[in-house]
Amino acid sequence: MIIDDYKHKGLRKKLVKELQGKGIYDQAVLDSILNVPRHIFLDTAFLEQAYTDKAFQIGEGQTISQPYTVAFQTQLLEIKKGEKVLEIGTGSGYQASVLCYMETKLYSIERIKSLSKNASLIFQKLGYKPELMVGDGSLGWKVHSPFQKIIVTAGAPLAPEPLLEQLDLGGILVIPIGDQKVQTMVRYKKDLTGKITKEEHGIFKFVPLLGEKAWKTTQKI
Ligand code: SAH
């Protein structure tokens, strides 16, 4: 059962104000942050901090992104209801839940099985039904392509070409690109003729995207 009382809701209201102050203006994104209970993605020990604008450890050396980062990436996606969206890096499931709340048809890939499993239990509790896969998201998810939107929530050395290929005409890919410490948020737009343009949107810090078309890893999935 989920405990989400007036105190949590009050803290989310404050968080939304803070995000507006930092430049988030997309009302659908703000509504989603206002409604998705972030505290259930963290250990109960961190309950107090769930609505501060900070990233947290979620185990396996991975993190739940900072609310501002989640809001900023989601805003760059220009989400419309009913769109097919691919997320790489399910992690805690928080970003995925923000996208599900916005009524997207979500597909999410995570390379660490235990994280995907934990996230799936939370989706059940929240009544969201994303399609989940444990595997290498740098390869995309071809059978379900094309996707109108693709979001990568780990830092990559470059945009994996399968993701650009699996992006629909008129689609948007948002991905942090850089080295393993610091990245630039990049937005790719594919126009209706298939031409791809690139914009840069500031500096962020993510855990690395590991995989065949990203940072090489010897670890097995
Ligand atoms: N979206 C998450 C943030 C997760 S951090 C959230 O809201 O909590 C990034 C995640 O990407 C980590 O869980 C990491 O295991 C995963 N990851 C890294 N490389 C990956 C790959 N090639 N395929 C799928 N997931 C990957």
- The superfamily CATH assigns to domain 6-204 is Vaccinia Virus protein VP39 (3.40.50.150)
Q: Is residue 101 predicted with pLDDT exceeding 50?
A: yes
For residue 64, which atom of ligand 1 is closest to its CA?
A: 8
Reported as a single tens digit per residue, the pLDDT across 173-221 is 999 999 999 999 999 999 999 999 999 999 999 999 999 999 987 655 4
Is residue 63 within 6 Å of ligand 1 at its C-beta? yes
Locate the domains of the chain by residue range.
6-204
First to last CA, the chain: 31
Report the range of poorest mean pLDDT among 42-46, 118-122, 133-137, 147-151. 42-46
Q: Is residue 108 predicted with pLDDT exceeding 60?
A: yes
Q: List the catalytic residues.
A: 65
- Exposure string of 46-69, with b = 16+ CB inside 10 Å and e = fewer, is beeebbeeebbebeeebbbbbbbb
Other C-beta atoms closer than 10 Å to the C-beta of 28 total: 16
Q: How does strand 147-152 pair with strand 167-178?
A: parallel
Cα 3 to ligand 1 centroid, rounded to whole Å:
26
Cα 102 to ligand 1 centroid, rounded to whole Å:
21
Instruction: Calculate mean pLDDT across residues 4-20.
Output: 95
Cα separation, 4 vs 153, in Å, equals: 26
Cα 30 to ligand 1 centroid, rounded to whole Å:
23
Which mutation among 60, 132, 207 tests ligand 1's pocket best, with the greatest number of atoms within 8 A of CB? 207
For residue 115, which atom of ligand 1 is closest to its CA?
A: 13
